[in-house]
Structure 1
Amino acid sequence: MNKKKVLIITYYWPPAGGPGVQRWLKFVKYLPEFNIEPIVYCPSNASYPITDASLADQVNPDLTVIKQHIKEPYKIAQLFSKKSKTISKGIIAEKEKQSLMERLMLFVRGNFFIPDARKNWVKPSVKYLSTYIKDFNIDTIITSGPPHSLHLIGLELQQKLDVTWIADFRDPWTTIGYHKQLKLTSASKIKHKNLEKKVLNNANKIIVTSPSTKVEFEQITTQPIQVITNGYDHEKVTTFGLDKKFTLSHIGSLLSKRNPEVLWKVLRDLINEDSDFASNFQLNLVGAVGKEVLQSIEINDLTNSLNNIGYVSHSEAIMFQKKSQLLLLIEIDSEITKAIIPGKLFEYMVANRPIIALGPIGADVASIIKETNTGQFFNYQDYDALKLTIKQHFEAFKKGDLKTNPIGLQKYSRQQLTKNLAQFINP
């Protein structure tokens, strides 16, 4: 039986690093097992804020990858300010700490590049892919955003060629955390909302990564919506000895808006109250860290316990996850972040180390952690409960008995999730 051809339009592809690339890199890996032949379309010269050359090794050499040139405004912006690179990573300073150049760049990004800085890739992509889709008899396309401008490629191709179009939202659109920081005019806000509505009501099917996003989108569209979360892959089994110190490790970007003041206070107090804790504790931050986060750590006298490692490759990140005594997951304390389920949560779960998670009340993350018995979730007011849990984990660590007993993880494996995707593509 011939495999069904599906064209996947994505901005993030190796050598891109970070969480954005993982989702479709893994789906593409497993789709052929379910009688689907993926074809990937991505930029040839993208300006990725972080790169990881090692991820290219995970791409099947038989996979068809089409690449086309893209104009990247961030490259031009970097000639005027190094801040453009941090903004492209999502690291945006507090309003009162922004320079004039930062404020200007945010205004330009928000109001002149709607829905985002890759909007100028839409027309040339539609022109090129229109011919390609006809030549290779492709009847299904998938667009993955952000950047949400890629959904506009799907919209135009669908209207032009009458293909089946599936829009995959790795994150929400107008309710994503940084959206309010873009200094949008009233007209720009309306334009974003109208584009979002147009995409959601014209896509034949919609995929989201969390139940809360599904609920949000169901207020806008009646099109079929499927929740397919991110997940974990079966990495090569490597045994890492656990850290000798009582390490609490956060892997991934820790942006200033995610600054967990309550956690820093808990750790400060535990260090001041227990000399044994003070001598054994180490905070690992693996990835980009916002300036305000580092300042809070310093204010709480945690600098001597800090190991600020910076960005590492994905394989190194897996190593840190497996070696750490505790894993830290943090989300912004906001109503609109309840829907965010970071991809690293699933890697954390199979690292077999207890998770300490902080986020808003009612977060989707909380239910997954509870369901899988992989850790504890706290809101930003849970000082006493957070302190008690870390203290209990430290006592278990001293006895050599700090462990976790996860249950029901299989449903979050990349292979199972790809099976769910294949059934949604081709019921």
Structure 2
Amino acid sequence: MDKKKVLIVTYYWPPAGGPGVQRWLKFVKYLPEFNIEPIVYVPDNPNYPIEDESLQLDVSDKLTILKQPIKEPYKLAGLFSKKTSLTISKGIIPEVKRQSIIEKLMLFVRGNFFIPDARNAWVKPSVRFLLKYLEEHNIKTVITTGPPHSLHLIGLQLKEQLGLQWIADFRDPWTSIGYHKQLKLMKRAERRHKKLEFKVLNTADQVVVTSFVTKKEFKALTSQPIEVITNGYDVEVVGETVLDVKFTLAHIGSLLSKRNPEVLWRVLSDLVDENEQFAGDFRLNLVGYVSDDVLKEINKYGLIGYINEVGYVSHNESIKYQRQSQILLLIEIDSEDTKCIIPGKLFEYMVSNRPIIALGPKGSDVESILKETNTGTYFYYDAYSILKTAILDHYEAYREGNLQPYPIGLQKYSRKALTESLSKLL
């Protein structure tokens, strides 16, 4: 039986680093096991803010990868301010009161002139190229994944012109995600964003989302079928790791300005002041980008001397940090807009066999998953007393040599099991 051919349109692909690349890299890895042949379409000359060559190891040499050039304004913007361009291209938007004139101008231009995003110039040439390729190779199914959501416009036009099966995968929401509100949108631009979002949601044959909160939000906009397929974990072989001797709390990933739980820094500061033994054992590992605002807040609580600021590391290195740390921190912005965010690293955390302490908004999907899998504890930003008690309990378990979680039901979050769910939609 011949394998069904499916075209996947994605912006992030190795050597891109960061969380955006993982989802479809892993789906593509396992789809052939479910009698589906993926063909991947990516930019030929993308402007990736982070690169990780180690991810190339997951790309089969049998995979067909199509590439076409892309014109990106971030490269031009970099002529004016390379640092600002790189920061905004990562999705890191400074607080309004701290924005320079150049940053304000770039955000205004980005939001009002590049709709839905700065990769929209890739839509027309991609459609032109893919129309011919799809017909020549008799491919009847296309998947687009965003952000960048401009890639869904490629799927939209291919659907309208060829009438093929189109699945629109949303790794993050579109108009309701937090940074969208920081783009200084004029009313005309805001209407355009919402119109495009509505059209994509109501034209795609199938919508796929990563969280139940997003599904509920989208169900108010469309009657098309919506499936939740979360991110997940893969079997990662990184060599033997040994638990840290110190009582390490590790956060893996970006700590943006608003991802800054004062309650956690206050709890840790008080434990250091009140417990000399804790102070001698405690270390805070920050693996990834950390904003100046977060560092200033940590410094305000006298914790700078306890920090190991590692910076960005490869995916394999991040897995090592996860497995050797005593406790893993998962921190999300305390906002209604972030209830739908389930960081991809959550699932890697869950199989690292280390306890998770998570902080975020009430009603988050993360809270539900942690409870369901018994892999960690979730706290709100006002939970000083219970957070302090929990960390102290973990510390006592560490001192006694029995600090570990007892997870249940993790298998359904494996990348292979999730790919099987995707294959059924195809």
SS at match of 1:254: coil
Residue of structure 2 equivalent to 1:292: 293
Inter-partner Cα distance in structure 2 for 1:229 and 1:385: 29
Distance of aligned partners of 1:421 and 1:196 in 2 relative to their CA distance in 1, 3 Å threshold: same
Does residue 183 of structure 2 align to residue 182 of structure 1? yes
What residue identity is the alignment partner of 1:28? V
Residue of structure 1 equivalent to 2:384: 383
Q: Where in structure 2 are the equivalents of 1:46-57 lying within 5 Å?
A: 46-57=46-57
SS at match of 1:160: helix
Q: Is the 8 A contact 1:29 1:60 kept in 2?
A: yes
Inter-partner Cα distance in structure 1 for 2:90 and 2:244: 30
Inter-partner Cα distance in structure 2 for 1:113 and 1:291: 28
Does residue 43 of structure 2 align to residue 43 of structure 1? yes
Q: Is the 8 A contact 1:90 1:255 kept in 2?
A: no
Q: Where in structure 2 are the equivalents of 1:114-129 lying within 5 Å?
A: 114-129=115-130
Inter-partner Cα distance in structure 1 for 2:26 and 2:36: 14
Residue of structure 2 equivalent to 1:17: 17
What residue identity is the alignment partner of 2:167? I
SS at match of 2:317: helix
Q: Is the 8 A contact 2:238 2:319 kept in 1?
A: no
Aligned-pair distance for 1:91?
A: 1.5
Inter-partner Cα distance in structure 2 for 1:187 and 1:264: 42
SS at match of 1:293: helix
User: How does the TM-score come out when normalised to structure 1?
Assistant: 0.99
Inter-partner Cα distance in structure 2 for 1:104 and 1:209: 32
Q: Is the 8 A contact 2:334 2:361 kept in 1?
A: yes
Q: Is the 8 A contact 2:251 2:329 kept in 1?
A: yes
SS at match of 2:42: strand
User: How does the TM-score come out when normalised to structure 2?
Assistant: 0.99
Aligned-pair distance for 1:291?
A: 1.3
Q: Where in structure 2 are the equivalents of 1:196-215 lying within 5 Å?
A: 196-215=197-216
Q: Is the 8 A contact 1:249 1:328 kept in 2?
A: yes
Deviations 1:186-231 (CA, angstroms, capped at 9, x unpaired): 1111111111000000001000000000000000000000000000
Deviations 1:254-313 (CA, angstroms, capped at 9, x unpaired): 111111111111111111111111111111111111111111111111100011111000
Query: 4+ residue stretches of structure 1 with deviation over 6 A?
Result: none
What residue identity is the alignment partner of 2:147? P
Q: How many residues align?
A: 425
What residue identity is the alignment partner of 1:137? N
Aligned-pair distance for 1:238?
A: 2.7
What residue identity is the alignment partner of 2:226? I
Q: Is the 8 A contact 2:238 2:320 kept in 1?
A: no
Inter-partner Cα distance in structure 1 for 2:317 and 2:298: 24
Inter-partner Cα distance in structure 1 for 2:311 and 2:153: 35
Q: Is the 8 A contact 2:271 2:278 kept in 1?
A: yes
Root-mean-square deviation (Å): 0.7
Residue of structure 1 equivalent to 2:8: 8
Residue of structure 2 equivalent to 1:232: 233
Inter-partner Cα distance in structure 2 for 1:50 and 1:396: 37
Inter-partner Cα distance in structure 2 for 1:148 and 1:211: 19
Residue of structure 1 equivalent to 2:112: 111
Inter-partner Cα distance in structure 2 for 1:309 and 1:186: 42
What residue identity is the alignment partner of 2:137? F
Contiguous gaps of at least 5 residues in structure 2: none
Larger CA deviation: 218-227 vs 276-285: 276-285
Q: Is the 8 A contact 2:252 2:288 kept in 1?
A: yes
Inter-partner Cα distance in structure 1 for 2:137 and 2:227: 28
Inter-partner Cα distance in structure 2 for 1:65 and 1:243: 41
Inter-partner Cα distance in structure 2 for 1:190 and 1:263: 39
Inter-partner Cα distance in structure 2 for 1:308 and 1:257: 18
Residue of structure 2 equivalent to 1:221: 222
What residue identity is the alignment partner of 1:192? H
Contiguous gaps of at least 5 residues in structure 1: none
Deviations 1:135-161 (CA, angstroms, capped at 9, x unpaired): 100000000000000000000000011
Aligned-pair distance for 1:424?
A: 1.2
Deviations 1:350-397 (CA, angstroms, capped at 9, x unpaired): 000000000000100000000000010001111111110001001111
SS at match of 2:208: strand
Residue of structure 2 equivalent to 1:251: 252
